[in-house]
Amino acid sequence: MNVQVSTTKPAVGVPFEIAFHLNAIPQDFTPPSFKDFEIISGPNQSQNIQFINGSLSQSFSISYVLIPKKEGPVVINAAKAIVNGQTIYSSPITIDVQKGNSNYSAQSQQRTTAPQETSTNVSKEDIFVRTSINKKQCYIGEQITLTQKIYTRVELRGIQNVKFPHLEGFWSKNQENNRNIQLHIENIDGINYYVGEISTQYLFPQRSGKLTISPIEIECVVRKRSSRAPRDIWEQFFGVNTFEDHVVTLKSQPISIEVWDLPTTNKPANFSGAVGTNFNFKTEINKTKIPANEALQLKITISGTGNIPLIDAPKINFPQEFETYDPKITENISTANGVSGTKTFEYLIIPRQEGHYKLSDIQFSYFNPSTKNYVTIPSPEILIEVTPSTNTNNNAAQVYQQFKQEIKSEDNDIHFIKPYPFTLFKKHETFFNSTTHIALTLLPYLAMLAVFGFYQYQKTQRSDWASFQQKRAQKIAFKHLQLAEKTLKTGNTAEFYTAIIQALENYLTSKFKLQKSELSREKIKEIFKTYNISDELQKRYFDLMDTCELAKYAPIASQQSLENIYSSTQQLITDFEQTIKLS
């Protein structure tokens, strides 16, 4: 962290400027003590994007305008900042305050302490933000590319407080990109602008009709040469305020999109909503010959470009003799050039009876918006031979042989008869037919009943998958938080914010039985109202989501500690659980 002063020999009553500069955005900043000075301006903070030799760099500056109170040597101690979890300090600096005069003292008493003037002559032609899409007419489920760009012909010092548009009626996927905004020159109506892409999103309409994308709002810090005259000799000599920073609020125009229903002509019966291009469909089975009561695995893989995350599992008519479970679903999605990748469904199958079986009519259908036609991809028939079970118990006839014993002959069959009087004693009870014997005999059957009951309970839980996921919502969210904790240690902030957002979204979808496409701000507010979620909890949720999204696409605007965001997310989920249990 560097520290700079406008002069090392200021005079009493004469203002001078001290500034602290960092090449990263700190999570916390503590200035030194200015007890020997009067602060007339500051802290003046800016988060900057500097365009130098064709590349961008991030920086953070905070400055103060001070007036010395007494003459003589004065030490300004080190400032402290926390950057990426590490504490850094500036170097102490010593200034030699000179004797002032009454004119400067009088001027300092008259100087206003109001913040930097907010008026600016920056016009809409100097800097603006624009929202653009690659198509304004499309089908339900068709991919649309939404791009947010900033155009400027003035010096852009930083961006902050970005409010991304609400995407009501859309399911969206953000493009994963690097965290630096690359500027390039673009000519618009004969004027050259520096253009930077703020974000790219891929949208998939979920309903037909006219849908509107609201504007993006953003605050930009721009620097322009000041047109006012210097207020005193000090400013005239040192050139203070030759340039001034102004905060300009920009807002794009809303965009309307016409969304068509999918055609009903030639629509396949097994169509499950897949829309895109270059889809492939493949089925694999690990065994075609298997004994009864043993498990086999059927794997179905769908790949292509389009709304792959929204594709449901294909419908398969399994034989009644097959016991099946809900498929395990895995995704491998890329957003480099649109949403593409693979989605895999893995079925666990247990044939209960021997015989020859055939899995046929396994098909995948999708709608291609380029050709405006439905495409059906069939799978080859799968033949499965189920042989008799290898677990049949044939050892029952040998049980008696294991316990057969030969009768031992005795020399005297009749023992001596003891004459009267004599005393009779009761012999000890044998183990056979005793309470312990009966209990141990029944124990295996009771264990089998317990296992069977637990198996039926698990089967019932899996059949109502939504309720099962609802009970495990907190565990699912904390699992993603564990991933966020790992990225926190490695310093990968991009994956950290992604894991935080996924933890909150997966918690809501599991807890309130929602689909990802329903996670709009209005729907979430409606759910919160239904479950009597307090306004304070709602505000904490939306503030946390806005912070993470802003830090992900405009990282220079995030000033919160990653540890604070992690602990706030963990506490928020815990508070949600307690509130819902009490309601």
Residue 562 parent element (H or E)? helix 562-582
Report d(CA 315, CA 363) in Å as an integer: 8
Range with the largest mean pLDDT of 36-50, 145-159, 555-569: 145-159
Q: Model confidence over 10-31: pLDDT tens digits?
A: 888 788 888 888 877 787 788 8
Report d(CA 145, CA 339) in Å as an integer: 10
314 pLDDT higher than 80: yes
pLDDT band, very low/low/confident/very high, at 238 (cuts 50, 70, 90): low
In this prediction, residue 55 carries a pLDDT of 53
**Average pLDDT score over residue span 255-262:** 93
Is 540 in a helix, a strand, or coil? Answer: helix
In this prediction, residue 385 carries a pLDDT of 92
Residue with more model confidence, 479 or 356: 356
Cβ atoms of residues 353 and 292 within 8 Å: yes
Report d(CA 436, CA 426) in Å as an integer: 20
User: Among 78-87, 144-153, 507-516, 565-574, where is mean pLDDT lowest?
Assistant: 507-516
State which fold the 2-110 domain adopts: Immunoglobulin-like (2.60.40)
Q: What is the 3-state secondary structure (H, E, C) of 180-197?
A: CCCEEEEEECCEEEEEEE
Q: What is the mean pLDDT of the chain?
A: 79
Concatenating the DSSP letter of every residue in 48-90 gives EEEEETTEEEEEEEEEEEEEESS-EEEEE---EEEETTEEEEP
pLDDT band, very low/low/confident/very high, at 179 (cuts 50, 70, 90): low
Report d(CA 132, CA 217) in Å as an integer: 14
419 pLDDT higher than 60: yes
Report d(CA 321, CA 324) in Å as an integer: 10
pLDDT band, very low/low/confident/very high, at 154 (cuts 50, 70, 90): confident
CA 279 centroid distance within chain? 27
Concatenating the DSSP letter of every residue in 236-257 gives HHH-TTSEEEEEEEEE---EEE
pLDDT band, very low/low/confident/very high, at 470 (cuts 50, 70, 90): low
Q: What is the 3-state secondary structure (H, E, C) of 346-399?
A: EEEEEECCCEEEEECCCEEEEEECCCCEEEEEECCCEEEEEECCCCCCCCHHHH
Upstream peptide bond of 43 is cis (omega within 30 degrees of 0): yes
CATH number assigned to the domain covering 276-387: 2.60.40.740
Residue with more model confidence, 294 or 160: 294
Residue with more model confidence, 573 or 113: 573
In this prediction, residue 136 carries a pLDDT of 92
In this prediction, residue 113 carries a pLDDT of 33
Instruction: DSSP letter for 270, please.
Output: T
User: Among 114-118, 268-272, 281-285, 392-396, where is mean pLDDT lowest?
Assistant: 114-118
CA 238 centroid distance within chain? 49
Report d(CA 504, CA 541) in Å as an integer: 9
In this prediction, residue 342 carries a pLDDT of 94
**Average pLDDT score over residue span 134-145:** 93
Nearest alpha-carbon partner for 360 in 389, 336, 380? 380
User: Among 56-60, 64-68, 86-90, 141-145, where is mean pLDDT lowest?
Assistant: 56-60
Residue 454 parent element (H or E)? helix 435-463
In this prediction, residue 556 carries a pLDDT of 46
109 pLDDT higher than 60: no
In this prediction, residue 211 carries a pLDDT of 92
Burial 357-392 (b: 16+ CB within 10 A, else e): bebeebbbbbbbbeeeebeeeebeeeebebeeeeee
In this prediction, residue 427 carries a pLDDT of 60
Q: Model confidence over 533-557: pLDDT tens digits?
A: 888 888 888 888 888 877 776 654 4
Q: Model confidence over 273-295: pLDDT tens digits?
A: 899 998 999 999 998 999 998 99
Report d(CA 503, CA 260) in Å as an integer: 33
User: Among 30-44, 173-187, 322-336, 378-392, where is mean pLDDT lowest?
Assistant: 173-187
Instruction: DSSP letter for 415, please.
Output: P
Cβ atoms of residues 131 and 147 within 8 Å: yes
Range with the largest mean pLDDT of 472-481, 487-496, 500-509: 500-509
Is 303 in a helix, a strand, or coil? Answer: strand
- Where residue 579 falls (left for φ over 0; alpha for ψ -120 to 50; beta otherwise) is alpha
In this prediction, residue 108 carries a pLDDT of 41
What proportion of the chain, given as a percentage, has pLDDT over 90? 21
Is 119 in a helix, a strand, or coil? Answer: coil
Report d(CA 389, CA 138) in Å as an integer: 55
In this prediction, residue 397 carries a pLDDT of 32
**Average pLDDT score over residue span 100-115:** 42
User: Among 86-95, 174-183, 383-392, where is mean pLDDT lowest?
Assistant: 174-183
In this prediction, residue 368 carries a pLDDT of 93
Domain 127-260, architecture per CATH: Sandwich (2.60)
115 pLDDT higher than 50: no
Q: Model confidence over 497-513: pLDDT tens digits?
A: 888 888 888 888 887 77
Residue with more model confidence, 491 or 118: 491
Cβ atoms of residues 190 and 161 within 8 Å: no
In this prediction, residue 133 carries a pLDDT of 92
Nearest alpha-carbon partner for 115 in 149, 64, 54, 49? 64
Upstream peptide bond of 421 is cis (omega within 30 degrees of 0): yes
Residues 6+ apart with CB under 8 A from 423: none
Delimit the domains of the chain by residue range.
Answer: 2-110, 127-260, 276-387, 440-465, 472-582
Other C-beta atoms lying within 10 Å of the C-beta of residue 238: 14
Q: Model confidence over 553-573: pLDDT tens digits?
A: 665 445 567 888 888 888 888
**Average pLDDT score over residue span 192-208:** 89
- Which CATH class name applies to 472-582? mainly alpha
Instruction: DSSP letter for 477, please.
Output: H
402 pLDDT higher than 50: no
- Same topology, domains 2-110 and 472-582? Answer is no
**Average pLDDT score over residue span 211-223:** 88
